[in-house]
Amino acid sequence: MRRAFLGEFEEVVLLTVAILSDAAYGVSVTQEIEQKTGRAVGFSTVHTTLQRLAEKGYLISAMGGATAERGGRRKRFFTITSAGRRALQEVKQVREELWSALPPQTLQLMGG
């Protein structure tokens, strides 16, 4: 089985879509990332990443209904797929293996 490769920002976006569940669309994902990470991110960067994750099969999208506050425009909602969940589980496992392989004296040097 081929391991999933996710860049750091792809991982953050995919996790955020999973967190937001049914409320995950471009603006909500952008706002949630900024709130959780304290990092300013551009909507276009998030949008591009959402599209790339969908192309990889980690997300699917569907159009929501038109809303008055958006001038009648519809929102594209994103949902994580089973492949996306597997990719996140693989990334988490690799990170945990790396952290647990870190010698204790290294953490002491790092102030941990």
**What structural domains and CATH numbers belong to the chain?**
8-109 (1.10.10.10)
Task: Indicate the length of the chain as a whole number.
Answer: 112
pLDDT at 112 over 60: no
What is the pLDDT, as a whole number, of residue 104? Answer: 81
Reduced to 3 states (helix: H, G, I; strand: E, B; else coil), residue 51 is helix
What is the pLDDT, as a whole number, of residue 2? Answer: 61
Structure confidence by residue, pLDDT tens digits, 3-60: 668 899 999 999 999 999 989 999 999 999 999 999 999 999 999 999 999 999 999 9
Q: Residue 21's closest CA among 10, 32, 6?
A: 32
**Mean pLDDT score, 84-92:** 95
pLDDT at 110 over 70: no
Which residues, 6+ apart, have CB-to-CB distance to 86 below 8 Å? 4
Structure confidence by residue, pLDDT tens digits, 67-85: 766 666 788 999 999 999 9
d(CA 31, CA 37): 10
